[in-house]
C-alpha cells in the first residue's frame, strides 16, 4: 500500500517582533535565506519555536531573525509520526509586503473570432486566456449555463431530483470542477507553469494560501466566484462567451475543420476548433469521430464513493494529533494492487459531501465536493478499480471500439439508477458489508442529498466487486477503522476520467486526421483535473499560435 498524507495549514507568514533594538545592530545577512524545517504541529504553531528552528537552519542567531515567511508547506504522517514539512524564507530585515498577484494584462480584441473553443471549463478558459494574451480573439461555446443559473440547476437536482441535461454538476461554466473540492495539485514535476496558473486563480479571488500549500484547493464555495471573475475579464477584453450553446457537429472540408454547427442550425466559421468539453460530453466525441477524427479507447476506472466520519479519518491519519488546529481535516490517498488490477482512491473530499453527478435521466452517478473550510461532518472519496482492455473483453465489449468505455459506463449507471429506485436515490451498502458480501439492513448516516437505499453493491458491481473487496481488505490490515460499521459505500463512481481519447499529434497537438481540430484537457483525454486541464489549455493555445505564425510566415509578402 502506498499512502501519502498531506493537508494544508495556516498561516503563510509569521512576523517576529523580537529584533534586538537595544543593540540597534543591523544583522550581517541582509538577503533572505530559504531553508527547510520539519516540526511537530505544536512546534510549528508556536511562532517563537518556528523562528528558532528557522534560525538554526539558516545558521543565524535567533535575535537576528526578524521575520519568517512560509513559502511551501505540507503534512507528513508517514511512519506514525505527524510532522509539518515547510520551506520558509528567513528575513533579517522587514520583508516586502505580500502582494496579491495581478491578473494577466490583455489587449483589447477586435475583429472576428478566429478560434472556436467548445467548453468553458479550465481547459477552455485558459486556452482563451492564452490566446487573448497573444492578441487573438476567440469564441467560447458552452452548452451549460453561467454559474449564477447553474447553481439553481444543481440545486434542482440535489433537492428535487430534477436533472437539467445541459446544466448540472458536469456541464456549465467552469466545468465539472466548479462544484467540486477545487483541488489544484497535479503530478506535473515542473512548478513554473503550475505557479502561473495558481497566480491567475489568486488574482481572480482564490486565497493566497494556494501559493503555499503543497496540495492546494479552493473549495466549492469559492471556486464559482473565481471562475466568473476570470470569464468576465475575458469578456472585457473582447472574448465572446455564449452559454446554452450546444455544438452538434463539426464543419469540415477536405479533412480540414472549418467551423461548428450548433443545436438549432446556426453555423459558425473558424480557423481552428479546440475541443475542451470535459469527461462527460459523450455526444461530442461521437460527432468528432463521425467528422473523421481518430478516437481510441482510453482506460478509466469504476467503483463506488466511500464515506466516513471526518473524525474517523482524522484519527486514522493523525492519531493523538487528530483535531489539532494546525492540521485541520485529514485526507488520504490509497493505491492497491490486486493481481494485475490497480484499485485506488479518487478525488478525496475532507469535510465534504457526496453529490449526484448524473448527465442522463436514467443514469446514477456520484461524485464529491468540499467547502474551502473542510469542516463538514463527513469525508468521502471514490474507491475505484481500473478498466482496461481485459475488463472490456470480460464485459463482452471490443477494446477496438473507441466508445466501448462509454457503453460500459452506461451499463453500470443505468443499473445503479434502477437499483436505487429512480429519482437519483443512491444505492448504498455498509463498507464492511460490501467487503463481506452481505446486505446492510440499517444504513449509517450519509451526506448524499438524494437519500440512499440499501442494496447489494457487491452484486451490482459484478466483476469489479472482487478487486475492490480485496483492496479494502488490504487497507484494513494497516487501517482497521477504515472498515468500521459507520463507513458507507454509495454507487456508482464512473466518471473518473474520459473513457476515450481524441488522438492528436504530439508536436502540433492537432488531430492527425482532421487538421484544425485541437483535442484539449479532459475532453480530449489529456488531463485529469483542474490544474492539468488548465495547463493543457495553455499548451494547446500556444501550439495553435505557433502553427498560425508558421502559416503567416510561409505566405508570400
Looking up cell 490517498 gives: 333
Residue 391 phi/psi, 5° resolution?
-70, -35
Partnered with residue 334 across adjacent β-strands are 3
Determine the Cα–Cα distance for residues 155 and 355; give it in Å rounded to an integer.
10
Peptide bond into 2 cis (omega under 30): no
- The pLDDT tens digits for 515-526 are 999 999 999 999
Determine the Cα–Cα distance for residues 67 and 196; give it in Å rounded to an integer.
26
State the pLDDT at residue 555.
Answer: 59
Three-state DSSP at 556 gives coil
Output Rg (C-alpha) for the chain, integer angstroms: 25
Three-state DSSP at 178 gives helix
Residues of the chain with CATH 3.50.50.60: 115-294+501-554
> Contact 466/343 with Cβ under 8 angstroms?
no
E strand or H helix that includes residue 349: strand 341-349
State the pLDDT at residue 359.
Answer: 96
Q: Which residues of the chain have pLDDT under 50?
A: 1-29, 189-191
State the pLDDT at residue 483.
Answer: 96
Nearest to 531 by CA among 113, 60, 195, 27: 195
State the pLDDT at residue 78.
Answer: 85
CATH topology of domain 115-294+501-554: FAD/NAD(P)-binding domain (3.50.50)
Alpha helices (H) along 180-335: 191-203, 223-237, 282-290, 310-318
> Contact 154/162 with Cβ under 8 angstroms?
no
Alpha helices (H) along 437-529: 457-460, 465-478, 521-524
Amino acid at each position: 500500500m502506498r499512502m501519502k498524507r498531506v493537508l494544508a495549514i495556516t498561516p503563510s507568514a509569521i512576523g517576529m517582533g523580537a529584533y534586538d533594538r537595544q543593540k540597534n545592530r543591523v544583522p550581517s545577512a541582509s538577503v533572505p535565506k530559504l531553508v527547510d524545517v520539519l516540526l511537530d504541529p505544536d512546534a510549528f504553531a508556536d511562532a517563537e519555536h518556528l523562528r528558532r528552528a528557522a534560525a538554526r537552519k539558516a545558521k543565524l542567531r535567533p535575535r537576528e531573525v526578524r521575520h519568517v515567511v512560509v513559502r511551501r508547506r505540507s503534512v507528513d504522517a508517514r511512519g506514525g509520526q505527524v510532522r509539518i514539512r515547510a520551506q520558509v524564507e528567513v528575513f533579517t530585515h522587514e520583508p516586502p509586503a505580500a502582494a496579491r498577484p495581478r491578473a494577466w494584462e490583455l489587449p483589447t480584441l477586435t475583429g472576428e473570432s478566429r478560434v472556436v473553443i467548445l467548453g468553458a471549463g479550465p481547459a477552455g478558459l485558459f486556452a482563451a486566456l492564452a490566446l487573448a494574451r497573444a492578441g487573438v480573439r476567440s469564441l467560447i461555446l458552452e452548452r451549460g449555463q453561467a454559474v449564477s443559473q447553474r447553481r439553481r440547476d444543481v440545486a434542482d437536482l440535489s433537492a428535487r431530483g430534477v436533472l437539467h441535461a445541459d446544466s448540472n454538476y458536469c456541464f456549465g461554466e467552469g466545468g465539472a470542477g466548479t462544484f467540486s473540492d477545487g483541488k489544484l495539485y497535479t503530478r506535473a514535476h515542473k512548478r513554473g507553469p503550475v505557479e502561473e496558473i495558481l497566480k491567475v486563480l489568486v488574482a481572480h479571488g482564490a486565497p493566497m494560501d494556494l501559493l503555499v500549500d503543497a496540495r492546494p484547493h479552493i473549495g466549492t464555495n469559492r471556486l464559482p466566484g473565481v471562475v466568473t471573475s476570470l470569464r468576465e475579464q475575458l469578456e472585457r477584453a473582447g472574448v465572446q462567451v455564449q452559454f446554452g450553446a450546444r455544438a452538434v457537429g463539426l464543419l469540415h472540408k477536405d479533412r480540414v475543420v472549418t467551423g461548428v454547427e450548433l443545436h438549432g442550425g446556426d453555423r459558425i466559421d473558424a480557423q481552428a476548433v479546440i475541443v475542451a468539453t470535459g469527461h462527460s460530453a459523450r455526444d461530442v466525441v461521437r460527432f468528432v469521430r463521425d467528422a473523421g477524427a481518430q478516437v481510441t479507447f482510453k482506460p478509466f476506472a469504476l467503483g463506488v464513493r466511500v464515506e466516513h466520519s471526518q473524525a474517523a479519518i482524522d484519527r486514522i491519519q493523525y492519531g493523538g494529533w487528530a483535531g489539532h488546529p494546525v492540521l485541520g481535516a485529514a485526507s488520504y490517498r490509497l493505491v492497491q494492487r490486486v493481481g494485475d488490477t490497480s484499485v485506488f482512491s479518487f478525488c478525496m473530499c475532507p469535510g465534504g459531501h457526496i453529490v449526484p453527478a448524473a448527465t442522463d435521466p436514467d443514469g446514477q452517478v456520484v461524485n464529491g465536493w468540499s467547502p474551502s473550510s473542510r469542516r463538514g461532518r463527513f469525508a468521502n472519496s471514490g474507491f475505484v478499480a481500473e478498466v482496461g482492455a481485459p475488463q472490456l473483453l470480460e464485459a463482452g465489449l471490443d477494446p477496438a471500439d473507441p466508445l466501448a468505455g462509454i457503453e460500459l459506463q452506461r451499463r453500470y449507471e443505468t443499473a445503479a439508477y434502477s437499483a436505487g429506485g429512480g429519482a437519483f436515490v443512491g444505492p448504498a451498502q455498509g463498507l464492511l458489508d460490501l467487503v463481506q458480501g452481505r446486505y446492510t439492513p440499517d444504513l449509517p448516516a450519509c451526506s448524499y442529498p438524494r437519500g440512499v437505499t440499501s442494496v447489494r453493491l457487491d452484486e451490482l458491481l459484478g466483476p469489479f466487486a472482487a478487486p475492490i473487496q480485496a483492496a479494502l481488505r488490504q487497507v484494513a490490515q494497516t487501517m482497521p477503522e477504515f472498515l468500521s460499521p459507520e463507513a458507507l459505500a454509495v454507487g456508482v463512481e464512473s466518471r473518473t476520467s474520459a473513457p476515450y481519447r481524441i488522438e492528436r499529434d504530439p508536436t502540433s497537438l492537432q488531430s492527425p486526421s482532421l487538421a484544425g481540430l485541437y483535442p484539449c484537457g479532459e475532453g480530449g483525454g489529456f488531463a485529469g483535473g483542474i490544474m492539468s486541464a488548465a495547463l493543457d489549455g495553455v499548451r494547446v493555445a500556444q501550439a495553435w499560435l505557433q502553427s498560425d505564425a508558421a502559416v503567416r510566415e510561409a505566405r508570400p509578402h
